[in-house]
Structure 1
Amino acid sequence: MTPGWRGTGHRSMRWLFGGGRFGGWLSGVGFALVASLLLAGCTPTGIAIGAGARVATAAAEERGLRGSAEDTWVTTEINRRWFEFDHRLPLQATVTVRDGVALLTGVVDTADLRLAAVRLAWSEEAIHRVINELRVAGQDSRTQGDTADAGRDLWIAKTLEARLLFDGEILSINYAVDVADRVVYLMGTAQSAAERDRVIAHARDIAHVRRVVSYVGIKGAPGD
């Protein structure tokens, strides 16, 4: 993180978004387009395809373009706060944000880092709930992971994402998947209880999965 982030760079981002967090000309559509320009490559074709795909995907989600853009912004801000506090935090912990709910997963070196990660996540004004699934290294045998474990977690996540994508009875874009130490964490909004249960069943059916933790809400349900 460069020293200029909180100076010129941070002021530039505030100019793009206007006086409020998303009060300027860069609405959800604009945010998605700018992100696409950064991620899709420099060729006109790559920019057009990348921007179009990301905007279309965000628009189709239950949270919509604006919600998707704000979640992305808040995720970036939390990671920035973590890095400024201790550069190890964003390397050891993962934050997934959907609709103002932050899910924290991973294994951190100390209890102080775990507490700091939670405190800094709460410091974002858009966050109204923090789900703390962080563990401290050495406190139980499950935290003694290695590169093979990390590779297995990635394989589980990608396998589940593929299953959800190709299941015609599931709107996969409404779900976020995170895997830590073979525990699958699900966030998102299901169209029905049946769809939610189908997603959970897919996760449980994947080899090496120890446990599935669902924070999936149901569309139209109280509190969703």
Structure 2
Amino acid sequence: MISVRPLRQRRPVTGTVLLLLAGMGALLAGCQSPGRESPELARQRAEAAAEAPAVPDSQIDEQIHRLWKEKSPEMNSRLNVTVDRGEVLLTGNARDPDMRVDAVRLAWQADGVRKVLNEIKIADESSLSDSATDAWINTKLWAALLLDGQVKSSNYSIETVNQVVYIMGVARSGVELEAVLQHARELPRVRQVVNYVRR
């Protein structure tokens, strides 16, 4: 007697199998020949290189202390510097607003500085009304820079003393710098804008 085996039924392809096949296809499509780099990987590599500090933090610290000493030996005794991957934190008590402005301006002059965080206090505060006006100007200008998509606001420091706005930092282009200065000039109550920005 001849036995007849039933035909095997095909199973439907499940969603899991389809997902696995699609994933393998994406992996194979992403493979590059040796020596070739995908545009995305190249972009990530370039961004990582841009973030890496070109100048060691210890050298940045030394430069700032030297610049401060040349300006006024008192600055080094009253103020402190902390550097982390090119970002500079300034702390301490300045004698007056002018010393605070000079400290930030000189910090931006050091090679390799990517950002300056100013936490310097002023021992001899000016009148309450002047301080309130200066704080108002600072707040308005920061808001304008943050809302401007053409400006990288973290590249700048702003100090306002007696309604005079001091802008310090590093501009990516002349167009960006002009936009920053224009924002400052357009604010009410600003008597003068002083530009200490490097390009």
* Structure with larger Rg: 2
- Which structure ranks higher in relative contact order (CA pairs < 8 Å, sequence separation ≥ 6)? 2
For Structure 1 versus Structure 2, the TM-score category normalised by the shorter chain is 0.3 to 0.5
